[in-house]
Each structure stands twice: as C-alpha cells, then as structure tokens.
C-alpha cells in the first residue's frame, strides 16, 4: 500500500510536532473533503501556532513532489 501525502503529514504532526492524535482526527474528520487544507484548519481551530504552521509548510515543501517543472 502506497503511503499518501496525508498519511505522511499526519505522522509528521504526531512525531515531530507532538500534536495529539485527537486534535488531528478532529480536523481530518470535520474536513475530510478538503485534506489539502489540513494545516490551515489546524491553525484556525487553534491546534497549532503560527510557528508550527510555518514548520508544516516547510515540511510540505520539502516532501511534496512538484506538480510541474519550470524549464
């Protein structure tokens, strides 16, 4: 089974930022139709700080494959 970016992100949130699983589950459950917005949702609910949000975006940038390549 291939690990999706969302699964990797959840692992990062739990392992690196030590976010409680319940907080992550809450955001995923209430917005399962928009998983790409998970970092913003966590911030809107007050579950991550701006510094943590910045770390999440840095991780996503380093982990995500680009959608297209500029020549």
* SS3 sequence of 37-69: HHHHHHHHCCCCCHHHHHHHHHHHHHHCCCCCC
Which residue shows structure tokens 């399962």? 32
How many of the other CB atoms lie within 10 Å of CB of 19?
19
Cα–Cα distance measured from residue 31 to residue 41, given in angstroms and rounded to the nearest whole number: 8
The pTM of this model reads 0.81
40 pLDDT band (50/70/90 cuts)?
A: very high
> Residue 44: what pLDDT?
93
> Residue 28: what pLDDT?
86
Per-residue pLDDT tens over the stretch 51-67: 999 999 999 889 876 65
Give Cα 53 to chain centroid, integer Å. 9
């Amino acid at each position: 089974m291939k690990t999706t970016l969302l699964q990797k992100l959840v692992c990062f949130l739990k392992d690196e930022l030590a976010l409680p699983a319940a907080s992550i589950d809450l955001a995923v459950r209430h917005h399962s139709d928009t998983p790409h917005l998970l970092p913003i949702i966590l911030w809107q609910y007050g579950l991550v700080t701006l510094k943590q949000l910045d770390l999440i975006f840095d991780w996503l940038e380093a982990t995500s494959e680009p959608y297209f390549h500029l020549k």
